Structure 1
Amino acid sequence: MSKLKRSGDVAMHCLPFRGLLEDDSHFLKFQLAINDSLLMGDIKADPKAKLSWIMPKTKEYYNITGKFYIASAPTQLTRFPPPKISSNDGQTTADYWEQQRLNEWNKLSSKARATFTWPSRAETPKSAFKSFNCQSLDKSQKSVLHEIALDNFCLLVFKVTDVEHLDYSCFPPKRTVCTCRVLNCVRQQVLTDFLCIIVIHSFSKS
């Protein structure tokens, strides 16, 4: 993920991808530690960002523009909570996203859960042994350490607004631009010389 800071510096982050939201594929899911002051600071300063997704084997590149939302534990207060999803089966928006957060937490491996007990990457721990002592954390292990890790775990949600797809597996290479709106997307497929528009049409969210 890249974005321009107010200082003019460029911020770069590698985000663990957790998949698409089943109820609305316009949303991408990532994991986030609330004590990650570097990433949290950049998102709070401006939640709009651009993601770069590279697939070397298929020679495809995706540049995805959108906005971040943070689904944190109920005990944590964060800016930019996720928006309402139309198919939330009568749940409140807060309950819906809390359930999504817990679902992703349960999918993590015991080693991945343990990392949410570790210090922020912006910190320099005084004792590596004490700071990284927890190497495994089972989801059935109900303890103070487990609650600390669970409260630290956030579901980072990215709502897609625009997608640029570059396909270099064919010749001439193709560039496809998709602008997502409320109910549909408008897609333009153009040659890489950007001179000839091949097709423009709308397609449903599904």
Structure 2
Amino acid sequence: MERWPAVELVNTIRHDGSGGVADDLATACGADRWIRDRAELLDGRVPAGPVVADEALRRQLAELRDAVRALFAHTVGVLPSRPAETDPAAPGRAVALLNAYAARDPVVPLLSWPPGEVPTAGWSSAESDPAVRLLAALARASVDFLTGPGRERLRACAAPRCVRYFVRSHGRQEWCKPSCGNRARVARHSRRRRAGSGDGTGTPG
């Protein structure tokens, strides 16, 4: 299954498994763990250089995440859980913020063509700060996603209390992962039982 940096970024806001919402970027340690866990995904999109998340980077990651999340909500036409995303002006501000982050690291395409091998494209950057490169690369990846074919398959998970987004892999997919599907089916079954029980005797009242 293809992984999308933009989708992984917005899904740092997620259902915590007990009825609440968790934020993986709530602390610098959480942001640092999220970056490390996605090193392979980000490889090739971010010029080489270690990134250690401090509080400043954490705040910027969360700001970028919230902007992309607002644009995802605008795309799928739902009202997400975070109040800032329900503001009608949010998409315009989010676009401006996303573009500002993408512009922080001007990059140029770089051709690599070793003898006897297939040519590949990469990126060359003069930016020395790996944190700036990371933020700009995530912003560019979000621009690529929102203007590419994945946007047409973007969905908000339909499971109760889930606030995650996913890219639909088949025509009938409703949930971001199997556990959400199981929770949705249990909730649906419970609603049907309540509707059928009526006055509690098993007979509709």
Same fold per superposition (TM over 0.5):
no
Q: Which band: TM-score by shorter chain?
A: under 0.3
| TM-score, scaled to structure 1 | 0.25
* Greater per-residue helix proportion: 2
* Greater per-residue strand proportion: 1
